[in-house]
């Protein structure tokens, strides 16, 4: 019997089975406009609600032009130009086929059907999109209509992700959302009618004032709405937001850890009973085929381009991102300059850190060949306290460890 060939120490980076380049290749496009900035939100957005309709339209047209220009430039620069210096020469200069496209926000649907369709089509003009690729657009319920979705289907959109957040009116009020509780359910029906194949609803739990009953009812409403995917996020309060300032001033209670954990358990229970598989800390789908492929790409440490304001990109160990200011973004692109605001080349240790912190978010964890080197003592410790486990050689979180993931990962790190 011949011994197994010894794997090279960097094989988890150079020959991954599911991770990194093996996970596919995506394009993220950011649309930074919102009608109003919600109190908890720290995404790159610009509130445009107080502008006149013409003014808004002119801005949107300018932005879409800049976005497509930016995409064109990033693609034209070539794959090697974006790679880490050390990996540059070994890299195939051709762009791979795009396996997922994600148009996120902000509120992309504020652009309206035709402009948004232009954004989606731009990807197909610049790169080869794989047959059957997932093409997602984020949608705010109050902006939805059958015409809008029809225009998107026409442009190749396969999936819509809608921000419902809650179905309790007082929670929506606290979250400063501009839609009624019924609206997301209607909007999902409209999307289905227009022929969007995959549908997701985003929820937020643990909002101050939300009761256990509110949350249960929200989950039940989601089941009734008939989507194939649900994302449920624990409310995170950032210092630099209206909520952060309200908490600092004592006007808003902080989010309670125990409440969040209780809500998490209820979500697992209700969605599980509704046939949903809990495949990532905050994500559920009706079976493996309906998982969000673009988000899987992130968690599997994959490569993706990022276009638009405040967009992030990754290519085998190098990350870069664009400015968070819409004004600066427009000025740069219109000037023929680069909107890129920063970049970093990761060390192998940092890449190992990322591989773990992303990969362990998935219920399936990491393929044995994709696991970075971990100190045996650190692994033994994390296993002994019941945070991680191995299953058929895969490294993954335990049921308890999942919601204590940061602890698990910091224990595994050097």
Partner 1 sequence: MTYAIDRIRNFCIVAHVDHGKSTLADRMLQLTELVDPRKMRDQYLDKMDIERERGITIKAQAARLPYLPLGEAGGEYLLNLIDTPGHVDFSYEVSRALNACEGAVLLVDAAQGMEAQTIANLYLAVEADLEIIPVLNKIDLPAARPDEVAREIASIIGGEPEDVLRISAKTGEGVREVLDAIVDRVPPPKGDLDGPPRALIFDSIYDPYRGTLVYFRVVDGSFRPGDKIHLMATGFEGEIDDLGVHSPEETPIDALGVGEVGVLSAAIKDVAQAKVGDTITLAGKGWEAVPRLPGYREPLPMVFSGVYPIDSDDFPQLREALDKLRLNDASFSFEPETSAALGFGFRCGFLGLLHLEIVIERLDREFDIPLITTAPSVRYRVVMERDDPETGEPRVLSVSNPQDLPEPNQIRAIEEPTVLAMILTPSEYVGKVMQLCEGRRGTMIAMDYPTEERVELRYLLPLASIITDFFDTLKSISRGYASLDYEIGDYVAADLVRVDLLLNGEPVDAFSAIVHRDDAYAFGRSMVETLKELIPRQMFDVPVQAAIGAKIIARETIKAKRKDVLAKCYGGDVSRKRKLLEKQKEGKKKMKSVGSVEVPQEAFVSALRSGSAKSDS
Ligand X SMILES: C[S@@+](CC[C@H](N)C(=O)[O-])C[C@H]1O[C@@H](n2cnc3c(N)ncnc32)[C@H](O)[C@@H]1O
Chain residues in the site for partner 1 (CB under 8 A): 28, 104, 202, 231, 233-236, 257-258, 260-261, 264, 281-282, 298, 304, 306, 311-314, 319, 321, 344, 350, 353-354, 357-358, 385-387, 402-407, 409-410, 413
Verify binding: residue 166, ligand SF4, rule CB under 6 A: no
138's contact among ligand SF4, partner 1, ligand X, none, with CB below 5 to 8 A by partner kind, is ligand X
Q: Residue 73 or 324: which CB sits closer to ligand SF4?
A: 324
Read off φ and ψ for residue 211, nearest 5 degrees.
Answer: -100, 170
- Per-residue contact flags (x/-) with ligand X for residues 234 to 253, judged by CB under 6 A: -xx-----------------
Q: Residue 277 or 354: which CB sits closer to partner 1?
A: 354
Closest CA to 19 of 292, 279, 351: 351
Q: Give, as ranges, the residues between 57 and 116 that touch ligand SF4 (CB under 6 A).
A: 105-107
Question: How far is it, in rounded angstroms, from Cα 175 to Cα 192?
Answer: 27
Closest CA to 192 of 150, 163, 134, 135: 150
Q: Residue 13 or 357: which CB sits closer to partner 1?
A: 357
Q: Which of 56, 99, 100, 140 binds ligand X (CB under 6 A)?
A: 140
192's contact among ligand X, ligand SF4, partner 1, none, with CB below 5 to 8 A by partner kind, is none
Q: Residue 199 or 313: which CB sits closer to partner 1?
A: 313
- Nearest approach, Cβ of residue 38 and ligand X (Å): 6
* Alpha-carbon separation of residue 303 from 314, 335, 384, 408 (angstroms): 5, 28, 34, 25
Report how far Cα 202 is from the mean position of its chain's Cα atoms: 11
Q: Looking at residue 318, what DSSP letter applies?
A: E
Q: Which of 32, 105, 181, 310 binds ligand X (CB under 6 A)?
A: 105
Q: Looking at residue 281, what DSSP letter applies?
A: T
Q: Which of 14, 35, 39, 43 binds ligand X (CB under 6 A)?
A: 43
Q: Give, as ranges, the residues between 312 and 351 that touch ligand X (CB under 6 A).
A: none
Q: What share of the chain is helix, strand, coil (3-state, %, to 5)?
A: 45, 20, 35
Verify binding: residue 41, ligand SF4, rule CB under 6 A: yes
Verify binding: residue 138, ligand X, rule CB under 6 A: yes
Q: Is 195 exposed, middle or buried (0-12, 13-18, 19+ CB in 10 A)?
A: middle
Question: How far is it, in rounded angstroms, from Cα 364 to Cα 399?
Answer: 11
Q: Among 32-40, 268-276, 347-355, 378-386, which window interacts with ligand SF4 (CB under 6 A)?
A: 32-40
Q: Are 342 and 324 in contact (CB under 8 A)?
A: no
Closest CA to 393 of 368, 364, 361: 368
281's contact among partner 1, ligand SF4, ligand X, none, with CB below 5 to 8 A by partner kind, is partner 1
Verify binding: residue 202, ligand X, rule CB under 6 A: yes
Q: Residue 35 or 88: which CB sits closer to ligand SF4?
A: 35
Q: Give, as ranges, the residues between 148 and 187 that touch ligand X (CB under 6 A).
A: 163, 165
Q: Please report which residue ranges of 22-112 form alpha helices under DSSP H.
A: 53-76, 79-82
Q: Are 74 and 309 in contact (CB under 8 A)?
A: no
Verify binding: residue 358, ligand SF4, rule CB under 6 A: no
Count of residues engaged in binding ligand SF4, rule: CB under 6 A: 11
Q: Is 53 exposed, middle or buried (0-12, 13-18, 19+ CB in 10 A)?
A: exposed
Residues linked to residue 98 through DSSP beta bridges, in sequence order: 129
Residue ranges binding ligand X (CB under 6 A): 40-41, 43, 104-107, 138, 140, 163, 165, 202, 204, 233, 235-236
């Amino acid at each position: 019997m011949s011994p197994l060939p010894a794997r090279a120490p960097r094989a988890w980076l150079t020959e991954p089975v599911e991770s990194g380049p093996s996970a596919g290749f995506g394009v993220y496009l950011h649309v930074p406009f919102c009608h109003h900035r919600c109190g908890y939100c720290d995404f790159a957005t610009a509130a445009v609600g107080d502008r006149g309709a013409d003014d808004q339209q002119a801005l949107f047209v300018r932005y879409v032009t800049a976005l497509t220009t930016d995409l064109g430039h990033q693609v034209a620069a070539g794959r090697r130009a974006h790679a880490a210096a050390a990996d540059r020469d070994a890299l195939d200069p051709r762009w791979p086929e795009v396996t997922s496209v994600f148009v996120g926000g902000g509120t992309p649907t504020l652009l309206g059907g035709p402009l948004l369709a232009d954004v989606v089509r731009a990807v197909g003009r610049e790169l080869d999109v794989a047959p059957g690729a997932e093409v997602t657009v984020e949608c705010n319920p109050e902006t939805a209509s059958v015409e809008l979705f029809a225009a998107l289907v026409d442009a190749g959109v396969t999936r819509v992700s809608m921000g419902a957040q809650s179905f309790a009116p007082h929670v929506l009020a606290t979250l400063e959302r501009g839609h009624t509780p019924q609206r997301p359910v209607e909007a999902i029906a409209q999307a289905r009618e227009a022929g969007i194949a995959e549908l997701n609803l985003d929820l937020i739990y643990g909002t101050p004032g939300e009761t256990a009953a509110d949350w249960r009812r929200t989950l039940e409403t989601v089941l009734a709405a008939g989507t194939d995917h649900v994302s449920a996020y624990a409310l995170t309060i950032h210092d630099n937001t209206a909520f952060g300032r309200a908490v600092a001033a004592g006007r808003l209670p902080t989010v309670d850890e125990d409440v969040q954990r209780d809500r998490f358990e209820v979500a697992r229970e209700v969605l599980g009973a509704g046939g949903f598989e809990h495949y990532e800390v905050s994500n559920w789908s009706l079976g493996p085929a309906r998982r969000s492929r673009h988000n899987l790409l992130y968690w599997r440490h994959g490569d993706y381009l990022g276009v638009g304001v405040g967009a992030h990109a990754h290519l085998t160990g190098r990350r870069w991102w664009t400015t968070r200011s819409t004004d600066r973004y427009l000025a740069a692109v219109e000037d023929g300059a680069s909107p890129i605001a920063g970049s970093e080349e990761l060390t192998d240790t940092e890449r190992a850190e990322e591989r773990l912190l992303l990969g362990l978010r998935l219920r399936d964890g990491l393929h044995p060949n994709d696991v970075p080197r971990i100190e045996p003592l650190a692994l033994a410790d994390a296993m002994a306290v019941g945070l991680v486990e191995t299953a058929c050689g895969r490294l993954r979180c335990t049921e308890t460890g999942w919601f204590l993931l940061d602890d698990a990962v910091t224990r595994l790190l050097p």
